[in-house]
Amino acid sequence: MYLNSFSRTVLSLIIILILNCGNLEAQRTTVGRGVLRRNYTGKKPVVIQHRTPDAVNYYDHENGAKIIKSSHFELDYTLGRKITFFCMAQGNPRPTITWFKDGAELYQHRFFQVHESHIDSDIIKSKMEIDPTTQMDAGYYECQADNIYAIDRRGFRTDYVMINF
């Protein structure tokens, strides 16, 4: 069988694509209402190792601040109602928790309150409330726990819903 140069090039590209995609093993399935979903059954994700011993000591320090419980990632709230987020962190010394909205640190004002309680000598719980809520309260919130050994963060996305009566 004789192939012209264009056919050989196309065939070579197809073979390269098949060889490069062999580990992916993706399936496409249609679930409820015609939504297309891909189920990837390939290899597990690669875990990036720490590059230096200092990084290992910082990120994996046994006394470093770690958030052990927190609110759900996503929250829809009704305008005028209260929204609440909480974070519980552990570390030695006991971490401090700071709240952020869209990357900027939140400070006290009349609609924003933070309640903290020391659960144990190395555990702190912080609850942030906004009451009443407005459209401006939609966004991305984070709690940051930190002590002298490490920093840990959790993020929460919020959006408002309007209820028509």
pTM tops 0.75, yes or no = no
pLDDT of residue 15: 57
Please determine, looking at this structure, whether the domain spanning 64-159 carries the CATH number 3.40.50.300.
no
Domain ranges of the chain: 64-159
Greater confidence (101 vs 48) lies with 101
CB 152 within 8 A of CB 66: yes
Look at residues 135, 154, 32 and name the one whose alpha carbon lies nearest to residue 86.
Answer: 154
Instruction: Give the CA dihedral 19, 20, 21, 24, nearest 10 degrees.
Output: 120
Indicate if the pLDDT at residue 64 is higher than 70: yes
Confidence tier at 110 by pLDDT (50, 70, 90): confident
Span 88-99, mean pLDDT?
A: 96
